[in-house]
Amino acid sequence: MFIRPVIIAFLTSSLSGVAADSFADKATPLLSRYCYDCHGEKKQKGGIEVQHLLSTESAFRNHRFLENIAKQVEDGDMPPDDEDKLPTEEERKALVAEIRGVLGKLERGDFPRNPGRSTVRRLNRNEYNNTVRDLFGIDFQAGKDFPSDGAGGEGFDNVGDALFVQPSLMEKYLAASKKVMAAIYEDPKHLERVIIAKPNDKTPPDQAARTVLLTHASLAFRKRVTDEDLAPLLNAFNERLAGGEAYEDALRVPLQSLLVHPAFLFRIEEDQAGKEEWRVNDFELATRLSYFLWASMPDRRLLKLADEGKLSEPATLRAEAVRMLADPKAESLARNFAGQWLGFEELRENSEPDTKRFPTFTQNLRVAMYRESVEFFNYLVQANRPASELINASYTFVNAELAQHYGITGVSGSQMQKVELSDPNRGGVIGQASILTATSLPLRTSPVKRGKWILDTLLGTPPPPPPPDAGVLPGDDKSTSGLSFRATLEMHRKRATCAACHEKIDPLGFGLENFDAIGRWRTTDANGAPIDSKAVLPGDIAFSTPAELKKLLAGSDDLFLRNLARKILGYSLGRPLEYYDEPVISELVVKLRKDELKMQTLILSVVESQPFQNRSAKR
């Protein structure tokens, strides 16, 4: 009676020691003591709360947030000096050490690895258009009437969690399929390319139809097609043939049905019962690869290798990825990945500079600005240039109109062409008009938007959202009071609720003030006063030109390279990245550095990574 409770107490004590959670024991009590009053359940100052950080796992899941906590605690910014309860220096060091320990485990992969799993994804609008193009050779935007797709995960529109299927979308799929068939059947040459087999003395109609439908269904469904898959298609053909329709006409409805079939519209990957993790099959790998590099369906070569079970062989997979990167369809990486990541996709529809203030901003110039960024990123990939040239390239791509906009001489014609730059302020994405216009307002530049773009988009360190009472800055930088816009902004940032963020954001934007709201170089502002582009970052780091800013960014590129790796991994997987992806990101950066930062090395390393080739039962 006495021994049993003692044994139980001993075992409980021993087991709790084995299962002890260092973060829960050392960090959570300090957070509770010094942070919960302002950032707990009852109050979330600045929208920040920390009461959920109760274990190492919760710390893993909130690792990017923890980085900010460690920095602010280490610098003495948090808790603020006016708080009643302040931690001792030893307590600050203990909390920071515990957080750094968690972040170190993440970087080393010192925990059970997980390749993750994507939600079943429908084709987004771009993928649908490209897939229809490659399936039937239809060279028009078949899905142009589809609603735009929302962004999810790392900010891309190919994330399954954000690809909802509204009832109205199914109606649009049906309407689009009819338009595609109309385009095929109205063009005899096109129809002949689609109807690849016809009946003759040796081949009856149903056998010829089977060849046609099997060929196109294999491409459309991106897998090995079974008799069960073909049966409804052949039945529809036979019914129409028996009803008196000509052979080609009887194939119209079965071919159209391919475009509204779930196996076409959705990227479905099979689970494997009883397994926690497994390699995706070769057809699924082919689909992952093609929608990553081409934003479209696998071609016949990829599907043939998948059917033979050869695509997953490391040498074959790498060779195929290299082949696909050399294909013109790989420009989709520039348009869809870079366009969404860097934000120049915004220029196409959302940026609206005031044409009275900026009369030289024409539709042709808008297109040229967009094409500059596409051509630039595509060249980085095709020529296997270093990723660092995203920051400090000495060249760009212009046509005559954009060259005039930049003050570059000797360029003629409407075609984009590569030019060497003599102005060190202009090279790289920071000096591209598409970015500078997309981060401006209709009537003025926005140092805040530009600074936030550098922190968030380039470095992956987004500032917190502004407080509700932050106020609104004027939309025009023309002043009747003689006060410059910079002076107005500096008055705004003196507010206690605004100062901490603005001292990190604004200097980055001030350093770009020589670029006006449509990316032209200027020396005076809208009021005729000289541009004041002097900027001082925390730590007394001073600069005053885009060229100097780029040197600072290039000289300390860890954040940039890690963010680039994070973004391209997230785009390739089509899912939100989780804490267990952090070691993969670290590995990608290591491989990138080992090969002189070459862009294709990064892309191929993503293809060869564990999460790209595997799937798990749980997220």
Do 229 and 236 touch, CB atoms closer than 8 A?
Answer: no
pLDDT of residue 76: 77
Of the candidates 433, 391, 397, which has an alpha carbon nearest to the alpha carbon of residue 548? 391
pLDDT of residue 109: 87
Cα–Cα distance measured from residue 22 to residue 14, given in angstroms and rounded to the nearest whole number:
16
Average pLDDT of the segment spanning 309-330: 98
* Cα radius of gyration (the chain): 29
Of the candidates 296, 286, 268, 320, which has an alpha carbon nearest to the alpha carbon of residue 137? 296
User: Bridge partners of 266?
Assistant: 122
Q: Are residues 45 and 145 in the same domain?
A: no
Q: Which of 9-23, 72-86, 190-204, 379-393 has the lowest mean pLDDT?
A: 9-23
The H or E element that residue 398 is part of is strand 395-398
Q: Which one-letter amino acid corresponds to residue 547?
A: A
| 350 within domain boundaries | yes
pLDDT of 376 > 50? The answer is: yes
pLDDT of 1 > 50? The answer is: no
pLDDT of residue 379: 98
Q: Are residues 395 and 517 in the same domain?
A: yes
Q: What is the pLDDT of residues 210-252, one digit of tens each?
A: 999 999 999 999 999 999 999 999 999 999 999 999 999 999 9
Per-residue confidence band for 2, with pLDDT thresholds at 50, 70 and 90: very low
| 595 within domain boundaries | no
Q: Which of 101-105, 502-506, 574-578 has the lowest mean pLDDT?
A: 502-506
Average pLDDT of the segment spanning 387-413: 97
| 289 within domain boundaries | no
- Of residues 382 and 60, the one with the higher pLDDT is 382
| 73-80 contacts at long range (C-beta below 8 A, 24 or more positions apart) | 73/99, 77/500, 78/35, 79/34, 79/35, 79/38
User: How many domains are there within the chain?
Assistant: 3
- Residue span of the structural domain in which 25 resides: 3-108
pLDDT of residue 112: 85
Q: Are residues 93 and 127 in the same domain?
A: no
pLDDT of 574 > 50? The answer is: yes
pLDDT of residue 260: 96
pLDDT of 390 > 90? The answer is: yes
Q: Are residues 405 and 505 in the same domain?
A: yes
Q: Which of 247, 267, 287 is the last residue of a domain?
A: 267
Burial 408-428 (b: 16+ CB within 10 A, else e): beebeeeebeebebeebbbbb
Q: Which of 507, 523, 555 is the last residue of a domain?
A: 555
Backbone angles phi, psi at 508, to 5 degrees: -60, -40
pLDDT of 614 > 90? The answer is: yes
Average pLDDT of the segment spanning 559-581: 96
Cα-based distances in Å from 583 to 11, 60, 362, 611: 35, 12, 46, 11
Q: Is the dihedral of CA 291, 130, 576, 64 positive or negative?
A: positive
pLDDT of residue 482: 65
pLDDT of residue 496: 63
pLDDT of 489 > 80? The answer is: no
Q: Are residues 153 and 230 in the same domain?
A: yes
pLDDT of 535 > 50? The answer is: yes
Of the candidates 588, 615, 464, which has an alpha carbon nearest to the alpha carbon of residue 109? 588
Using left for φ > 0, alpha for ψ between -120 and 50, and beta otherwise, residue 587 falls in alpha
Residue length of the chain: 619
pLDDT of 305 > 60? The answer is: yes
Q: How far is CA 264 from the centre of its chain?
A: 24
pLDDT of 594 > 60? The answer is: yes
Of the candidates 146, 216, 135, 132, which has an alpha carbon nearest to the alpha carbon of residue 177? 132
Q: Are residues 398 and 539 in the same domain?
A: yes
pLDDT of residue 126: 95
| 292 within domain boundaries | no
Q: Are residues 84 and 180 in the same domain?
A: no
The structure's pTM equals 0.90
Q: Are residues 80 and 126 in the same domain?
A: no
Average pLDDT of the segment spanning 485-508: 75
How many other β-carbons are positioned within 10 Å of the β-carbon of residue 167?
6
Backbone angles phi, psi at 13, to 5 degrees: -65, -45
| 325 within domain boundaries | no
Using left for φ > 0, alpha for ψ between -120 and 50, and beta otherwise, residue 483 falls in beta
| 618 within domain boundaries | no
Q: Are residues 147 and 208 in the same domain?
A: yes
| 309 within domain boundaries | no
pLDDT of residue 14: 37
On average, the pLDDT of the chain sits at 90
| % of the chain with per-residue pLDDT over 70 | 94
Q: Are residues 370 and 518 in the same domain?
A: yes
Q: Are residues 90 and 154 in the same domain?
A: no
Q: Are residues 177 and 100 in the same domain?
A: no
Backbone angles phi, psi at 598, to 5 degrees: -70, 135
**Encoded tokens for 216:** 């196109």
Q: What is the pLDDT of residues 25-55, one digit of tens each?
A: 988 898 888 888 788 887 877 678 888 899 9
| 591 within domain boundaries | no
Q: Which of 108, 138, 164 is the last residue of a domain?
A: 108
